[in-house]
Amino acid sequence: RTLAKQVTLQECVGKGRYGEVWRGVWYADSVAVKISFSREEAAWRRETELYSTVMLRHDNILAYIGSDMTSKNGCTQLWLITHYHPLGSLYDHLNRTALTRQQMLRLCLSAVNGLLHLHTEIHGTQGKPAIAHRDIKSKNILVRVNGECCIADLGLAVTRGAQGEPCGGAPPAHRQGTRRYMSPEVLDESINLRSFDAFRACDVYALALVLWEACRRTGRCARDYRPPYHELAPSDPSCEDMRKIVCVEGARPVPSDDDHPTMVAMMKLMKECWHQNPSVRLPALRIKKTLMKLAENEHVDM
């Protein structure tokens, strides 16, 4: 029996343009099954290819079990089967609960740790190429029961080639990813599409927006959940909407007015990471070190 036939679907836990995510049972384990529509075949193939060829076993990357292609009443179903996380995405979690500074730091540090693992080339037999995610957002980050995050959805990821060029994935020519999280250089199409490093800088910009989403729900000044650019962009914004906001006006999310040193440091970190100029943004390793210092000050055990 193929993998899909060994899984019993129990309940739908997510629905989107991509398809659906179900909680399933595979022998004794709970699994997540992302069922994509056939128009998403390229992303499904890319995610399957990456998980199958690159050792991507890391606490802060969604753990892969397998992929399968089945047909249900004549319709092709693309399955991606992974570990299941009952708390759902960071987006769900932030909508559901406010955070202490310790919880926020644990979530942010583990998310950066996952992105750093993707961004870092590892040499040797168990090695991996540098990978840029290209669709970082709070809906693509899952919350583990231990309070850490793991990064999901590698359907748009690119790896670094021998000459520093981006490899794999759909031709990066036309804009991909989630428009609300697109960096200024993607929105005004000034990005150098032949440079892998340019895509890493886009991940850092999007991550900064996620840090802002988490900080908005943190501490004594915690406010209701809002997506980035909620007061400027309509729901389902166009690239043109976002270009006017992010490139022309140079607007960015409004920092929290919490003057606690940790929150002040978080705001400074975000501003560097969502900078208009990609080369000013910090590399993931620097972001991690800054967050580790803040976590240490707050006695967060990582």
For the question of residue 153 being annotated catalytic, the response is no
CA–CA separation, 164 and 215 (whole Å) = 34
CA distance 70 to 160: 32
118 binds ligand 3WN (CB under 6 A): no
Among 48, 67, 82, 183, interactor with ligand 3WN by CB under 6 A: 82
Contact 182, 239 (CB under 8 A): yes
- Sequential DSSP letters for 241-289: HHHIIIIIS---PPPP----HHHHHHHHHHHHHT-SSGGGSPPHHHHHH
Select from 84-92, 98-106, 226-234, 283-291 the region that touches ligand 3WN (CB under 6 A).
84-92
Say whether residue 206 binds ligand 3WN (CB under 6 A).
no
CB of 210 to ligand 3WN, least distance (A): 16
Comparison of 153 and 203: residue with beta carbon closer to ligand 3WN: 153
Burial pattern 123-144, b for ≥16 Cβ within 10 A else e, equals eeeeebbbbbbbbbbbbbbbbb
* Site stretch for ligand 3WN (CB under 6 A), options 80-88, 107-115, 186-194, 226-234: 80-88
CA atoms lying within 13 Å on the CB side of residue 194: 1
Task: Count how many Cα atoms sit within 13 Å of the Cα of residue 248 in the half-sphere of its side chain.
Answer: 8
**What binding mask, one character per residue, do residues 122-161 give for ligand 3WN by CB under 6 A, x or -?**
--------------------x---------xx--------
Q: Rounded to the nearest 5°, which phi and psi values hold at 132?
A: -105, 135
As measured in angstroms, the least distance from the Cβ of 44 to ligand 3WN is: 10
- The C-alpha atoms of residue 45 and residue 272 are separated, in whole angstroms, by 34
Our finding on whether 85 is near ligand 3WN (CB under 6 A) is yes
> Which residue number, 18 or 229, has a Cβ lying nearer to ligand 3WN?
18
| Selected catalytic residue, list 135, 153, 203, 258 | 135
Binding-site size, ligand 3WN (CB under 6 A) = 15
232, β-bridge pairs: none
Q: Which CB atom, from 30 or from 238, has the smaller least distance to ligand 3WN?
A: 30
Site for ligand 3WN in 7-36 (CB under 6 A): 13-14, 21, 32, 34
- Residue in 7, 35, 56, 80 binding ligand 3WN, rule: CB under 6 A: 80
Tell me the residue type at 219: G
Do the Cβ atoms of 175 and 193 come closer than 8 Å?
no
Which residues sit at the interface with ligand 3WN, rule CB under 6 A? 13-14, 21, 32, 34, 62, 80, 82, 84-85, 88-89, 142, 152-153
> What are the catalytic residues?
135
